[in-house]
Amino acid sequence: MTRTPYLSARLQGFGTTVFAEMSALAVATGSINLGQGFPDYPGPAPVLEAARAAIGTAHDQYPPGPGLPELRHAVARHHRRFTGLVYDPDGEVLVTAGATEALTAALLALLEPGDEVVLFEPMYDSYAAAVAMAGGVVRAVPLRAPAPDAGTATTDPWTFDADELRRAVTPRTRLLLLNTPHNPTGKVFGTDELRTVAAFAAESGLLVLTDEVYEHLVFGAARHTSIATLPGMRERTLVVGSAGKTFNTTGWKIGWICGPPALVAAVRTAKQFLTYVNGGPFQPAVAVGLDLPDEHFTGIARDLERRRDLLVHGLAAGGLPVVCPQGTYFATVDVRPVRPDGDGLAFCRELPARAGVVAVPSGVFYDPADAHLGRHLVRFAFCKRDEVLGEAVERLRRMA
């Protein structure tokens, strides 16, 4: 590996992300960008109107360090309504600059140098960097993709081997980092799987940090369950949420983390020296959103499921085997039927010229030692307007 000048040893290897490369490629070629996971249509009107109303008021100034009280109370109400978990808004809820800051602050607060973090791969790309910044070590457990035939889609889930999870835990393991619904696979961990993970955490004395930003974007028969709801898990678990995915406001960067007072206080100690506070006018707007009726949340899942099906059918019509996700924004394909060497990165670099569409190679979501496990896989995002997805599907079909 070529060393990057001036960059500390713990961050060597974390260069410019593939998202930047693929987004630039989309602009340069005029391609449809299905690489990065952000919606291109607006969020709910009451949320947007509340943000506009807050601009030009006292909300333009620093909010309280733990977050605006009305937002912390809204987060607590939202949890009680959808997970049954009861959190004290004054000591067990902390507002952050998106989920990424919540996760990073938690890792900085809780890890000593050399502590190990067990997580599932492929993994959201910030996890490994945040663990490295905290001086920790990633211990990755692979999720195994189903294997649909070329030109077909499967709803079979990604799976993991409990023995591999057991072997990943060592005397240096401090924390288990879970993501469900899972980016980039779209997997929603079932209750039995969560019981297995919870048992390992409890037996090994691990803290659990769970990223649940896609909690409402779950499709079909799949159901999201927070691991913190399982017996004995609330007291060892920090639950991370975010407004960005639920309200189509990814640029607002309003997130939160909930858990026992001592754990949240530790995270707050680190967080206050990162951003301190953020998004003053957006915090009351997110509070409005969290109190929207149940029909809003079921409706956004139903709408996104329709978009998922449109893209999945188009990918399959293009001759690709597709893993149809249970949740999130993303579908995964195996490129080997159209690129026999299985080089997903090369496929993504060629796809703009081949079909006028941009995607992201899944290999970047793996620990470097395990990148071969995802070399043949590519991730496509379907959180786009109907006309954009429709045009992308037509272009992909012509690839067959």
What CATH number did the domain enclosing 377 receive? Answer: 3.90.1150.10
Asked if 99 and 245 sit in the same domain, the reply is: yes
Q: Would the pTM of this model clear 0.95, i.e. be above it?
A: yes
Domain boundary among 246, 273, 293: 293
Asked if 285 and 382 sit in the same domain, the reply is: no
Q: Is residue 320 part of a domain?
A: yes
What CATH number did the domain enclosing 276 receive? Answer: 3.40.640.10
**Residue 1 pLDDT > 70:** no
Asked if 203 and 349 sit in the same domain, the reply is: no
Residue 63 and residue 277 in contact, taking contact as beta carbons nearer than 8 Å = yes
Q: How far apart are CA 108 and CA 120, in angstroms?
A: 20
Per-residue model confidence as pLDDT tens digits over 289-335: 999 999 999 999 999 999 999 999 999 999 999 999 999 999 999 99
Structure token digits, residue 37? 């996971």
Asked if 94 and 147 sit in the same domain, the reply is: yes
Per-residue model confidence as pLDDT tens digits over 25-71: 999 999 999 998 899 999 999 999 999 999 999 999 999 999 999 99
**Residue 169 pLDDT > 80:** yes
Q: Is residue 3 part of a domain?
A: no
pLDDT at 23: 87
Asked if 317 and 248 sit in the same domain, the reply is: no
Asked if 28 and 55 sit in the same domain, the reply is: no
**Residue 400 pLDDT > 80:** no
Total domains present in the chain: 2
Domain boundary among 293, 320, 336: 293
Identify how many contiguous H helices and E strands the chain contains and give both numbers. 13, 14
Q: Is residue 4 part of a domain?
A: no
Domain boundary among 259, 293, 327: 293
Asked if 301 and 280 sit in the same domain, the reply is: no
Asked if 320 and 248 sit in the same domain, the reply is: no
Asked if 281 and 360 sit in the same domain, the reply is: no
Domain span at residue 176 reads: 45-293
**Residue 205 pLDDT > 70:** yes
**Residue 20 pLDDT > 90:** no
Asked if 129 and 196 sit in the same domain, the reply is: yes
Residue 105 and residue 131 in contact, taking contact as beta carbons nearer than 8 Å = no
Q: Is residue 171 part of a domain?
A: yes
**Cβ neighbours of 371 (radius 10 Å):** 18
Asked if 261 and 314 sit in the same domain, the reply is: no
Q: Is residue 2 part of a domain?
A: no
Per-residue model confidence as pLDDT tens digits over 273-297: 999 999 999 999 999 999 999 999 9
Q: From 165, 158, 194, select the one nearest 374 (Cα to Cα).
A: 158
Asked if 285 and 265 sit in the same domain, the reply is: yes
Average pLDDT, the chain: 96
Average pLDDT over residues 340-356: 95
Q: Is residue 92 part of a domain?
A: yes
The confidence band for 2, taking pLDDT boundaries of 50, 70 and 90, is confident
Per-residue model confidence as pLDDT tens digits over 210-230: 999 999 999 999 999 999 999
**Residue 18 pLDDT > 90:** no
